[in-house]
């Protein structure tokens, strides 16, 4: 009898150990029948912008970790709302992951989608990344300089390109205008490629963009960074080491963007936990640090799991409610 009882205990412990190990290395643990087919990652913005760069790279890393592919799918429009509505229309089975940004919280605050809201419809998986805002001009001889932008005697209205109308880009620009006293007109575009084309052609004066989607264009010389919205200068990437920060210039604005993942609320808990663990595993891995965090993004890496991310989202809602709520 004792021998049989001991064997049962040892067998249970071995199952537990296998399940824990499998859960961490991306294989399917005992009793978990997920995933069995491709997982879609909905990127609610256009190709080439910051969220798309991040979403595609992270999808590739998750695909290498999981036993199935994670396929990025762009569903842009209405500052991220179209992608959220599309994700909400699909089954709550864990095979659809939605990438979110502050624009989705702002949409909740402004009640831009009367049919559903982010916090009521989805539950968090993980916050993975923060990103810096940078104010750019083009690199032509007659481009706007920082001195020209800061000139207190200037009455010129600057046109500034961005994405996500009524979202984080436009709100950040309005805060920058208030802080600097400059006249700044927001000009929305569908994608970062369209913005860069407009800036290089002189269609707009400036571009308020995120670092992750702009770094290669800084390095190629196509974009000239004027200011980083941050407390101090960035040590990395080295191309920004000499670029002044907003606070250094006397402007108390340090807005950053962030990116995370959610699934529908009705998704079974064991599937949500599985996905959250795999995202954590990838975010803490060397491949992510090399691909996305090697020289700039991990300066703001602030990983939060489901519970922490949920608390963070609710604080963000309160913050933007105070800032822009009506």
The SS3 call for residue 130 is: strand
Indicate whether 295 belongs to any domain: yes
Residue 24 falls in which region: left (phi positive, over 0), alpha (psi -120 to 50) or beta: alpha
Q: Mark which of 222, 256, 290 sits at the end of a domain.
A: 256
Long-range contacts (CB closer than 8 Å, 24 or more residues apart) made by 282-286: 282/58, 282/61, 282/62, 282/65, 283/126, 283/128, 285/61, 285/65
Where in the sequence is the domain holding 147, given as residue range(s)? 132-256
> Are residue 213 and residue 292 in the same domain, yes or no?
no
Same domain membership, residue 242 and residue 289? no
pLDDT of residue 111: 86
> pLDDT at residue 3 above 50?
no
Other CB atoms within 10 A of residue 195 CB: 28
The last residue of a domain, from among 256, 271, 299: 256
Dihedral of CA 196/200/201/203: which sign? positive
pLDDT reported for residue 297: 46
User: Domain for residue 12, yes or no?
Assistant: no
Q: Write down the pLDDT at residue 15.
A: 39
Q: Do residue 242 and residue 274 come from a single domain?
A: no
Query: Mind listing the pLDDT tens digit for each residue in 38-78?
Result: 999 999 988 888 899 889 999 999 999 999 999 999 998 88
Q: Are residues 236 and 312 both part of a single domain?
A: no
Predicted pLDDT at 10? 40
Same-domain pairing of 73 and 164: no
Q: Is 266 exposed, middle or buried (0-12, 13-18, 19+ CB in 10 A)?
A: exposed
Answer yes or no: is pLDDT of 6 > 80. Answer: no
Whole-number average pLDDT of the chain: 86
Whole-angstrom distance, CA of residue 5 vs CA of residue 14: 14
Task: Say if residue 120 is in the same domain as residue 138.
Answer: no
Section 227-248 average pLDDT: 92
Token pair for residue 274? 């599985």
Q: With the C-alpha atoms ordered 130, 81, 218, 64, is the resulting torsion angle positive or negative?
A: positive
From the number of C-beta atoms within 10 Å of its C-beta (0-12, 13-18, 19+), residue 110 rates as middle
HEC states along 250-284? Answer: CCCCCCEEEEEEEEECCCCHHHHHHHHHHHHHHHC
Mean pLDDT across 189-197: 85
pLDDT for res 67: 96
Within this chain, do residues 263 and 319 fall inside the same structural domain, yes or no?
A: yes
pLDDT for residue 136: 97
pLDDT of residue 238: 85
What's the pLDDT tens digit per position in 201-226? Answer: 999 999 999 888 888 889 898 899 99
18 occurs within a structural domain: no
The 10s digit of each residue's pLDDT in 139-181 is 888 899 999 999 989 999 999 999 877 889 999 999 999 999 9
Instruction: Decide if pLDDT at 285 tops 90.
Output: no
Query: 3-state DSSP: the chain helix, strand, coil percent, rounded to 5?
Result: 45, 20, 35
pLDDT at residue 19 above 60? Answer: no
Band of residue 113 on the pLDDT scale cut at 50, 70, 90:
confident
| Exposed/middle/buried for residue 297 (C-beta within 10 Å: 0-12, 13-18, 19+) | buried
Q: What percent of the chain has pLDDT over 70?
A: 86
Both 238 and 266 in one domain: the answer is no
In the structure encoding, which two tokens stand for residue 172, read together?
């950040």
Verify that 66 and 104 share a domain, yes or no. Answer: yes
Same structural domain, 105 and 151: no
For residue 51 the two structure tokens come to: 């969220």
Confidence of residue 249 (pLDDT cuts 50, 70, 90): very high
Q: How many domains does the chain have?
A: 2
Domain with residue 162: its CATH number is: 3.40.190.10
Give the CATH number for residue 272: 3.40.190.150
> Coil, strand or helix: which one is 4?
helix
Boundary residue ending a domain (221, 256, 291): 256
Same domain, 136 and 250: yes
What was the pLDDT predicted at 286? Answer: 77
The DSSP output letter for 238 is G
Position 4 pLDDT exceeds 80: no
Residue 29 belongs to some domain of the structure: no
CA dist., res. 200 & res. 192, Å (int): 12
What integer pLDDT is reported at residue 300 of this predicted model?
A: 52
What is the pLDDT at residue 211?
A: 87
- 263 or 116, greater pLDDT: 263
Integer Rg of the chain from CA: 22
The pLDDT of residue 89 is above 50: yes
Bridge partners, residue 122, by sequence: 264
Residue in 302, 246, 306 with CA at minimum distance from that of residue 275: 306
Closest CA to 258 of 87, 104, 63: 104
Return d(Cα 279, Cα 271) in angstroms, integer. 12
- Same domain for 179 and 243? yes
In this prediction, residue 127 carries a pLDDT of 95
Q: What is the pLDDT of residues 120-142, one digit of tens each?
A: 999 999 999 888 999 999 988 88
């Amino acid at each position: 009898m004792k021998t049989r009882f001991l064997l049962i205990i040892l067998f249970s412990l071995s199952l537990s150990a296998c399940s824990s190990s499998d859960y961490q290395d991306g294989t399917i643990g005992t009793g978990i029948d997920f995933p069995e087919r491709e997982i879609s990652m909905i990127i609610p913005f256009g190709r080439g912008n910051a969220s798309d760069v991040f979403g595609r790279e992270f999808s590739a890393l998750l695909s290498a970790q999981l036993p199935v592919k994670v396929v990025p799918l762009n569903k842009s429009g209405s500052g991220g709302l179209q992608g959220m509505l599309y994700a909400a229309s699909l089954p709550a089975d864990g095979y659809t992951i939605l990438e979110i940004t502050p624009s989705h919280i702002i949409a909740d605050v402004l009640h831009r989608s009367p049919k559903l809201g982010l916090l009521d419809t989805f539950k968090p998986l993980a916050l993975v990344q923060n990103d810096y805002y940078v104010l750019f001009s083009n690199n032509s001889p007659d481009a706007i300089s920082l001195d020209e932008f800061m000139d207190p005697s200037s009455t010129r209205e600057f046109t500034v390109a961005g994405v996500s109308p009524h979202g984080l880009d436009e709100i950040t620009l309005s805060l920058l205008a208030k802080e600097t006293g400059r006249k700044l007109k927001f000009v929305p575009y569908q994608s970062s490629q369209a913005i860069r084309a407009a800036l290089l052609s002189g269609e707009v004066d400036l571009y308020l963009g995120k670092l992750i989607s702009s770094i290669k264009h800084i390095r190629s010389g196509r974009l000239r960074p004027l200011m980083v919205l941050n407390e101090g200068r960035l040590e990395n990437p080295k191309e920004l080491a000499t670029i002044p920060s907003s606070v250094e210039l006397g402007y108390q604005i340090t807005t950053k963007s962030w990116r995370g993942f959610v699934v529908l609320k009705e998704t079974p808990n064991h599937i949500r936990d599985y996905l959250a663990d795999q995202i954590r595993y990838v975010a803490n891995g060397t491949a992510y640090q090399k691909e996305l965090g090697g020289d700039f993004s991990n300066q703001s890496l602030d990983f939060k799991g489901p519970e922490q991310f949920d608390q963070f989202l609710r604080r963000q809602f309160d913050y933007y409610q105070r800032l822009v709520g009506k």
